[in-house]
Amino acid sequence: MKVIDFEPVFRRLNEELSKMDTSLELVCAGGYVLQLHGYRATVDIDAFYASNAEVDAVIRKVGDEFGINRPDELWLNGSVSNMNPRPPIAYYKLVHRFSNLEINAVDLTYLIGMKLTSGREQDLIDVGTILKQDNNQEPFNLLSELIGMDFQIDISGLLGGYEKAHGMQWLEDFYRDNESELRKHF
């Protein structure tokens, strides 16, 4: 998949928002966050933002100009809000700021929680990709951190992400080595 440089797209969106004298704040999640961290490319941006007809029309216009809208979905969409509440400000950081547009991105730990909550196969693969690169994340510590972020995480889903990262043998060894601790979670 070709990596899309979204910065010029954001600049163009900012120009259109400026013409409308409207400001927009995005809290990005999903594939865009993974792209920012170099994990994989994405063709769209899932974000939390205040959607309305005017804003959606400008998003469509900019996407059409860059040829990045899909027939069934705009390049920038708020569908992530159907599965997750907007993240608290403590769990995202500023990526770009323009005169009328602010782009934030959730941190990777929060993204893991969001992806485990949705539980789709691609989300588990993404969790595995993150965990494979971050070998310092111990499962019980990560579970505690996610619970502290108010996620309702089932440890079996989390361990499914670790299995994607490290393989079935790792998972078998982990179960064997941590049997008594795991019983507390089942």
pLDDT digits (tens, 9 = 90+) for 4-61: 999 999 999 999 999 999 999 999 999 999 999 999 999 999 999 999 999 999 999 9
Stated pTM of the model: 0.91
pLDDT for 84:
87
Q: In the structure, what pLDDT confidence band is assigned to residue 2 with cuts at 50, 70 and 90?
A: confident
pLDDT at position 136 over 70? no
What is the rounded radius of gyration, in angstroms, for the C-alpha atoms of the chain? 18
> In degrees rounded to 5, what are phi and psi of residue 3?
-75, 125
pLDDT band at 119 (very low <50, low <70, confident <90, very high): confident
Q: pLDDT exceeding 70 applies to what percent of the chain? A: 98
The pLDDT of residue 115 is above 80: yes
pLDDT at 3: 85
**pLDDT at residue 82, rounded to an integer:** 87
Instruction: Report the chain's mean pLDDT, rounded to a whole number.
Output: 94
Nearest to 130 by CA among 105, 157, 111: 111
Q: How many CB atoms lie within 10 A of CB 2?
A: 5
Q: How many other C-beta atoms can be found within 10 angstroms of the C-beta atom of residue 89?
A: 9
Contact of 5 with 43, CB cutoff 8 Å: no
> Tokens in use for 178?
């941590």
